[in-house]
C-alpha cells in the first residue's frame, strides 16, 4: 500500500502568537516522517523521526520547550507502539535527555519491559548509549514564563500550559502506516504546566496517549491528561473502528464523548489500516498535518490548526 503519516502538535488554547510556529513545525515534522517511509523505512522509524523533529522544536510541549512542574523542572514522558505484535515502549519522569521518544523506542526493541520511569529509565538510557544534557538546557523562556503566570493565577488542567500565559504549546504525536501495512504510533510530552513533581499523565500510558493495531489502525492523543487516561481515549477510538466505524467518525465521537463526560478538552489523530484519516479536537486549536501521494510522485501536505480548517500545499520529495 501507499505509506501515509499524520502528526499533531498538541491540542489547547493556543494563542495567536504561537499559531505560525506550530504550523511550520508540524509540517516540517510530517515531512521528516514521510521521507523515512519513502526510503522504505518502517512505520516505527517514521513516527520516531516525526516526533524527534517536534521534541527539538521549542514550539511544542515535548523535549526542549516542555512545560514545567511546580519545582520549575522539565519532567517528560513518551510512548511508542507497533501494531504488528502490539509491542510497546514508554518512559516517564525523564529530566535530562532531549529525545524521550528515542528512549521509548529502545524500551520497545531492547527491553523485556513496557514502561520505565525516573532513575531506572535514566540508567536504561545510559546503558543503551544515550547522552544526557543538563536539565536547564531543556527549559525554554516561554515555559518559564508560563509557570510564573500559572503560579500567579493558573488553574491546573484548564489547558496544557495555562490559559492566560500567551505561550500555549502542546503534546506531540504521529501515526504511520508503512508500505507493508504495518501501523505505528508515537506520542511525547512535557505534561501540563504547574503539575506536581512526579505527576504522570496519559502520554506514557498505552491505550490513553497511544494505541496501534495492524488489524485496525492507530491513534495518538493530546489534551487534558487526567481525563484522557480515565477514558483510555486512544483505545476508545480503536474500539469504535473495530466495531465498524470509520476513522473520522470514531475520532470525533470518542473525543466528544470524553469531553462531555469529563468536562475537559482533548484531540486525537487517527489512521485506519487502509490509510483513512481521522482528526478531531474539542479544544480551541490543534495543529495537525498529513502527507499523501495523490498521483505517482505527486505529493500533497494537508494541514490545519483551527476548527474545520483544511489547508493544502504541494510537496516535492527528495526521493
Task: Summarize as ranges the residues that interact with ligand GLY (CB under 6 A).
Answer: 160, 171, 189, 191-192, 201-203, 222-223, 225
Which residues are the active-site residues? Answer: 171
Binding residues for substrate: 199-202, 222-225
Distance in angstroms (rounded) separating the CA atoms of residues 101 and 154? 29
**Residue closer to ligand GLY (CB basis): 74 or 245:** 74
- 220-to-26, 49, 108, 267, 315 alpha-carbon distances in Å: 14, 15, 17, 9, 24
Nearer to ligand GLY, 36 or 185 (CB): 185
Least CB distance to ligand GLY at residue 203 (A): 5
- Shortest Å, Cβ 294 to ligand GLY: 33
Which of residues 35 and 160 has its CB atom nearest to ligand GLY in the complex? 160
Q: Pick between residue 42 and residue 220 the one whose CB is nearest to ligand GLY.
A: 220
Residue number closest to ligand GLY, CB atom: 225
User: Closest separation between CB of residue 219 and ligand GLY, Å?
Assistant: 13
Shortest Å distance, C-beta 2 to ligand GLY: 30
Amino acid at each position: 500500500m501507499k505509506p501515509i503519516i499524520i502528526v499533531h502538535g498538541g491540542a489547547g488554547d493556543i494563542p495567536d502568537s504561537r499559531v505560525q510556529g506550530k504550523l511550520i513545525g508540524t509540517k516540517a515534522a510530517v515531512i521528516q516522517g514521510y521521507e523515512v517511509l519513502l526510503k522504505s523505512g518502517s512505520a516505527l522509524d517514521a513516527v520516531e523521526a516525526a516526533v524527534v523533529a517536534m521534541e527539538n522544536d521549542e514550539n511544542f510541549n515535548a523535549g526542549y520547550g516542555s512545560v514545567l512542574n511546580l519545582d520549575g523542572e522539565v519532567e517528560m514522558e513518551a510512548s511508542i507502539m507497533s501494531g504488528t505484535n502490539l509491542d510497546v515502549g514508554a518512559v516517564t519522569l525523564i529530566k535530562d535527555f532531549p529525545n524521550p521518544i528515542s528512549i521509548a523506542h529502545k524500551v520497545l526493541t531492547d527491553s523485556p519491559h513496557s514502561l520505565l520511569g525516573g532513575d531506572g529509565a535514566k540508567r536504561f538510557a545510559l546503558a543503551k548509549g544515550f547522552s544526557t544534557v543538563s536539565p536547564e538546557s531543556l527549559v525554554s523562556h516561554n515555559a518559564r514564563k508560563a509557570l510564573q503566570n500559572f503560579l500567579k493565577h493558573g488553574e491546573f488542567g484548564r489547558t496544557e500550559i495555562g490559559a492566560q500565559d500567551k505561550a500555549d504549546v502542546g503534546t506531540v504525536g504521529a501515526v504511520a502506516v508503512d508500505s507493508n501495512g504495518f501501523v505505528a504510533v508515537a506520542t511525547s510530552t512535557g505534561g501540563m504546566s504547574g503539575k506536581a513533581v512526579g505527576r504522570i499523565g496519559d502520554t506514557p500510558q498505552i491505550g490513553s496517549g497511544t494505541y496501534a493495531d495492524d488489524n485496525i489502525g492507530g491513534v495518538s492523543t493530546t489534551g487534558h491528561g487526567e481525563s484522557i487516561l480515565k477514558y483510555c481515549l486512544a483505545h476508545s477510538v480503536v474500539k469504535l473502528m473495530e466495531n465498524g466505524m470509520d476513522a473520522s467518525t470514531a475520532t470525533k465521537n470518542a473525543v466528544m464523548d470524553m469531553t462531555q463526560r469529563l468536562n475537559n478538552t482533548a484531540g486525537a489523530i487517527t489512521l485506519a489500516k487502509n490509510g483513512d484519516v481521522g482528526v478531531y479536537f474539542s479544544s480551541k486549536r490543534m495543529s495537525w498535518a498529513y502527507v499523501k501521494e495523490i498521483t505517482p510522485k505527486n505529493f500533497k501536505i494537508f494541514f490545519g490548526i483551527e476548527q474545520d480548517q483544511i489547508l493544502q500545499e504541494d510537496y516535492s520529495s527528495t526521493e
